[in-house]
Amino acid sequence: MRVNGADVEATPEPGQCLRTFLRGTGHLDVKKGCDSGDCGACTVLVDGAPVHSCLYPAARGTGREVTTVAGLGTPDDLHPVQEAFVDAAGFQCGFCTAGYVVTAAAAAGTEIAADPERCFKGNLCRCTGYRSIKDALAGHGNTKAEGGIGEPVRAPAALRVVTGREPYTLDQPDIGVLHMKLVRSPHAHARITAIDASRALALPGVRAVLTHHDVPDVLYSTARHDDRRDDPDDTRMLDDVVRHRGQRVAAVVAETLAIAERAAALVDVTYDVLPAVFDPEAARAAGAPLLHGDKSPEVSRIGEPGRNVVAASHREVGDVAAGLAAAAATYAGTWTTARVTHAALETHGARGWLDEAGRLVLRTSTQVPFLVRDELAHVLGLEPDRVRVLAARVGGGFGGKQEMLVEDVVALAVLRLGEPVQLELTREEQLSATPCRHPMRVSVEVGADADGVLTALAVDVLSDTGAYGNHAVGVLFHGCSESVALYRCASKRVDAEVVYTNNVPSGAFRGYGLGQVIFAIESALDELARRLGIPPVELRRRNVVRPGDDLVVDGPPHTDLALSGYGLDQCLDLVESALARGDRTPPPGPGWSVGEGVAASMIATIPPRGHHAEASVTLEPDGTATIGVGSAEFGNGSATVHVQLVAEALGIAPSAVRLRSSDTDATGYDTGAYGSTGSVVAGGAVAEAAAAVAAARAAGEPLPITRAGRRDGSQRSLAFNVHGVRVAVDRDTGELRVLQSVQAADAGRVLNPEQLRGQVEGGVAQGYGSALLEELVVREGEVLTRTFRHYRVPQMADVPETEVLFADTHCELGPHGAKSMSEAPYNPVAPALANAVRDALGVRPHALPMTRDRLWRLATTVSAPPATAHDAHPTEETR
């Protein structure tokens, strides 16, 4: 085989796929995204024809010419397609980019290139929402190589990403590394009565089989927060009780992955199957099987282990009953959301080893290296300075990598064997056994007077955290926070509980609970507006918080939140006028109904109770600068912003700034890249350090000059998003087409308009996925959608273009007036779509995703289109 023009001497194994062979011979630019031919990240050319190399038998490549993305061009000599992706900012995390570049290069000049949606239906991108990729394919340039704050500076890693030179977590030579394979539970609830590893250990090349007998007797949580007490200690690294299908039972370590896989099948486990519960309502009822009934509520911080309740809140301000009684119109309904997977193209994976000093080192795909370090030290009984955790560029996160899912067992194996060990989860493991978005059932009851002023707002939430309580508490409370606080209303009540079930665990997901609750509240308000004959945008205007208002959920107002730089009024105006301008696209045909919908959302710019970042900036004698910062780059664009901040402060070019990030050795501490903090917290620390360097230089201090910056996230602001959409729905098939999509965002001052637009578009696209397509189908605790073939991540053809508009505001708390904007754009999309469907069909959807089959069923419940846009419908629940 010749690869990129050079002969490869190695011989493929009989069952090896071409991707593994290529990576094993040093071609680490070929990425593993799904391993089943669905995502396209591993695309290479074989004798000029593009193939998904994960499906291609390696032996068949013998005698052929293989070209990878690195063979198409180099940073100094880009292929035209690579250049186009740089110029257009056609990537965010960049893990899918090699596949796009190779596919586009192969298609260039052929018939299929004229039809990008068909051409790229075998390539998935989770970050961008595809607009920037389509720009790259069309040759539109969106970025500049150099520039200051407010300019569309390209990502520092752009040239490396498009040429396959940027190393991700596991893009390291496979030399002297042991591989781990996990044995997983086939039962939803069972006690392990025996594990016999003798057959596995007898296989040549097997080095260890770790079971619950080998792990520290320490309970912890896979969820990571600045304060580890935020999450219940309910998880053992390997337990003798399994509480969901797919739970880790044993870890096999062997000299090759193939041996580890074969050995994993030879571990004999005997189970005593226990009763299981899958429905969250049943789980909190008397007599339900208890998942963590053996644990102490105080020690493990579980609300009511005797009732499967991890956390609960039942509080009220004002008098909701009186508010409803006094209302001119009320509405009540119940909404449900599905399980959704993050679908970051890079799966969870880590490699661990001991450095020369005997220190444990973990290179891992994480959003929170410092938090992983601290928890590894806690679980393994080590001092934190005996552990180093670093992340390379991370191939997508979306909250999924605010968990410690692989690092713990890898670390244990490294300490046990003293050799490097690697674990990479498969896509099937990602889909079937790692945390997903919390499915919720949300009931809302709301009332308003004749002028549309809210008199009462009551929310009742039931969240299913699955078998473990990672992020259960935070997601529940955050979900009910900004969603409810957005509206001024004297009487509010929140009843909220999150319960254990024997389903796959839920975890942190973009929006952190807000999207689920906002879906319900924004749907209810839309219906209330119809009842009152008030346009939905106007109803929001009359009720949203304004500068000077307290931010109230269900008790005393928040004291650390301030409406600095308020842009919600602008966002509402921008969306309203955009929809009024309309695109005048007529319905696709008879039988189609057209409707429009809007929804608003609010999110704090920083998580509560502290989010810390330390950073350093050094101005070198040669005029270049070096940043040391803890936060990770996973497509969120914080690396670009950090470089821009330093370049601006020091008056140097972005290309003269080096970034050392996401390494516990790089700086003192950083809580991590979650809660949309990459720009406002870590960026704030970087900006402070850069300003101090600039001041010292002005004072005549000799170079090099190093200064530190620090942020604690104690004062927080609020960011706003309003989504508007016009849809057509075919009543006879349930097909939905988006005729117009617009989102207005209040992100404070825009630091990088192209990057910010990309963040909004990516969030909106993920919103379209959750609203219309995506669902982990689970029966009796077993995930049935175990590949991307069955789990519908939006393709290019599924994502409409969204007009992105920015409010003109300035936040006093963020660097250069900026707010965060990474989770937020996702949150209002589903309710805006649901409201548009209601407008079109005359009947309201209550469940996500609104797939064609569900919309068809919904349409069949009403006989004809509504007479007017704002009629109250007799099929709706009313009082």
Under the criterion CB under 8 A, does residue 661 sit at the interface with other proteins? no
HEC states along 733-775? Answer: CCCEEEEEEEEEEECECCCCHHHHHHHHHHHHHHHHHHHHHCC
Sign of the C-alpha dihedral, residues 637, 638, 643, 646? Answer: positive
461 vs 850, beta carbon nearer other proteins: 850
Shortest reach from residue 111's CB to other proteins, in Å: 10
The CA-CA-CA angle for residues 705, 671, 388, to 5°, reads: 75
Pick the binder of other proteins from 2, 25, 59, 319 (CB under 8 A).
59
667 vs 851, beta carbon nearer other proteins: 851
Nearest to 684 by CA among 717, 720, 635, 721: 717
User: How big is the site for other proteins, counted in residues (CB under 8 A)?
Assistant: 63
36 vs 74, beta carbon nearer other proteins: 36
* Per-residue DSSP letter, 666: T
172 vs 787, beta carbon nearer other proteins: 787
User: How far is the C-alpha of 404 from the C-alpha of 391, rounded, in Å?
Assistant: 13
Shortest reach from residue 115's CB to other proteins, in Å: 10
Buried/exposed code over 366-395 (b: 16+ C-beta within 10 A; e: otherwise) = bbbbbbbbbbbbebbebeeeebbbbbbbbb
Pick the binder of other proteins from 426, 491, 820, 822 (CB under 8 A).
426
CB contact at 8 A, 803 and 134: no
User: How far is the C-alpha of 360 from the C-alpha of 380, rounded, in Å?
Assistant: 11
Shortest reach from residue 342's CB to other proteins, in Å: 18
Q: Cis bond leading into 849, ω under 30°?
A: yes
CB proximity list for 700: less than 8 A, separation 6 or greater: none
CB contact at 8 A, 84 and 78: no
259 vs 412, beta carbon nearer other proteins: 259
Under the criterion CB under 8 A, does residue 808 sit at the interface with other proteins? no
User: How far is the C-alpha of 146 from the C-alpha of 133, rounded, in Å?
Assistant: 21
| Footprint (CB under 8 A) of other proteins, residues 120-149 | 120-123
378 vs 852, beta carbon nearer other proteins: 852
Shortest reach from residue 245's CB to other proteins, in Å: 16
112 vs 321, beta carbon nearer other proteins: 112
253 vs 257, beta carbon nearer other proteins: 257
CB contact at 8 A, 635 and 367: no
Choose the stretch contacting other proteins; rule: CB under 8 A; options: 170-178, 541-549, 814-822, 848-856. 848-856
- How remote is the C-alpha of 790 from its chain's centroid? 20
CB atoms under 10 Å from CB of 322, counted, come to 13
Binding mask 756-795 for other proteins (x = CB under 8 A): -----------------x-x-x------xx-x-xxxx-xx
Query: Hey, which residues does 602 pair with through a beta bridge?
Result: 720
Shortest reach from residue 100's CB to other proteins, in Å: 12
Structure tokens at 326: 């006094």
- List the 421-424 sheet strands across, edge first: 206-210, 248-254, 178-184, 421-424, 349-354, 360-364, 387-390
3-class state of residue 257 by DSSP = helix
Under the criterion CB under 8 A, does residue 199 sit at the interface with other proteins? no
Region of 707 please: left (phi>0), alpha (psi -120 to 50) or beta: beta
Pick the binder of other proteins from 6, 10, 15, 583 (CB under 8 A).
15
Shortest reach from residue 152's CB to other proteins, in Å: 31
Choose the stretch contacting other proteins; rule: CB under 8 A; options: 253-261, 533-541, 712-720, 803-811. 253-261
37 vs 654, beta carbon nearer other proteins: 37
Structure tokens at 374: 């601290």
Choose the stretch contacting other proteins; rule: CB under 8 A; options: 9-17, 78-86, 507-515, 547-555. 9-17
Sign of the C-alpha dihedral, residues 828, 831, 834, 840? Answer: negative
Under the criterion CB under 8 A, does residue 347 sit at the interface with other proteins? no
User: How far is the C-alpha of 330 from the C-alpha of 199, rounded, in Å?
Assistant: 66
| Footprint (CB under 8 A) of other proteins, residues 64-123 | 103, 106, 112, 117-123
CB atoms under 10 Å from CB of 700, counted, come to 6
User: How far is the C-alpha of 408 from the C-alpha of 219, rounded, in Å?
Assistant: 12
Structure tokens at 240: 């003798």
Beta strands in 378-453 (DSSP E): 387-390, 421-424, 436-437, 440-448
Pick the binder of other proteins from 8, 30, 41, 51 (CB under 8 A).
51
Under the criterion CB under 8 A, does residue 37 sit at the interface with other proteins? yes
614 vs 775, beta carbon nearer other proteins: 775
CB contact at 8 A, 598 and 630: no
User: How far is the C-alpha of 424 from the C-alpha of 402, rounded, in Å?
Assistant: 17
Choose the stretch contacting other proteins; rule: CB under 8 A; options: 8-16, 129-137, 594-602, 609-617. 8-16
Choose the stretch contacting other proteins; rule: CB under 8 A; options: 158-166, 261-269, 375-383, 822-830. 261-269
329 vs 859, beta carbon nearer other proteins: 859
Pick the binder of other proteins from 416, 852, 870, 873 (CB under 8 A).
852
Choose the stretch contacting other proteins; rule: CB under 8 A; options: 217-225, 371-379, 703-711, 845-853. 845-853
User: How far is the C-alpha of 513 from the C-alpha of 516, rounded, in Å?
Assistant: 6
Shortest reach from residue 704's CB to other proteins, in Å: 49
| Footprint (CB under 8 A) of other proteins, residues 716-735 | 732-735
100 vs 566, beta carbon nearer other proteins: 100
Binding mask 265-284 for other proteins (x = CB under 8 A): x-------------------
Choose the stretch contacting other proteins; rule: CB under 8 A; options: 440-448, 449-457, 707-715, 850-858. 850-858
Shortest reach from residue 326's CB to other proteins, in Å: 43
Shortest reach from residue 170's CB to other proteins, in Å: 15
Q: Cis bond leading into 702, ω under 30°?
A: no
Shortest reach from residue 55's CB to other proteins, in Å: 5
Nearest to 435 by CA among 382, 399, 390, 392: 399
Shortest reach from residue 172's CB to other proteins, in Å: 18
Pick the binder of other proteins from 2, 13, 172, 240 (CB under 8 A).
13
3-class state of residue 182 by DSSP = strand
Shortest reach from residue 853's CB to other proteins, in Å: 3
21 vs 512, beta carbon nearer other proteins: 21
Nearest to 347 by CA among 277, 433, 457: 433
| Footprint (CB under 8 A) of other proteins, residues 514-573 | none
Shortest reach from residue 205's CB to other proteins, in Å: 12
Under the criterion CB under 8 A, does residue 255 sit at the interface with other proteins? no
Shortest reach from residue 598's CB to other proteins, in Å: 25
Shortest reach from residue 43's CB to other proteins, in Å: 6
CB atoms under 10 Å from CB of 300, counted, come to 19
| Footprint (CB under 8 A) of other proteins, residues 680-719 | none
Query: What phi and psi values does residue 252 have, to the nearest 5 degrees?
Result: -100, 130
122 vs 535, beta carbon nearer other proteins: 122
Binding site for other proteins (CB under 8 A): 13-17, 20, 35-37, 40, 43, 49-52, 54-57, 59-60, 103, 106, 112, 117-123, 257-259, 261-262, 265, 426, 428, 732-735, 773, 775, 777, 784-785, 787, 789-792, 794-795, 797-798, 851-854, 856-857
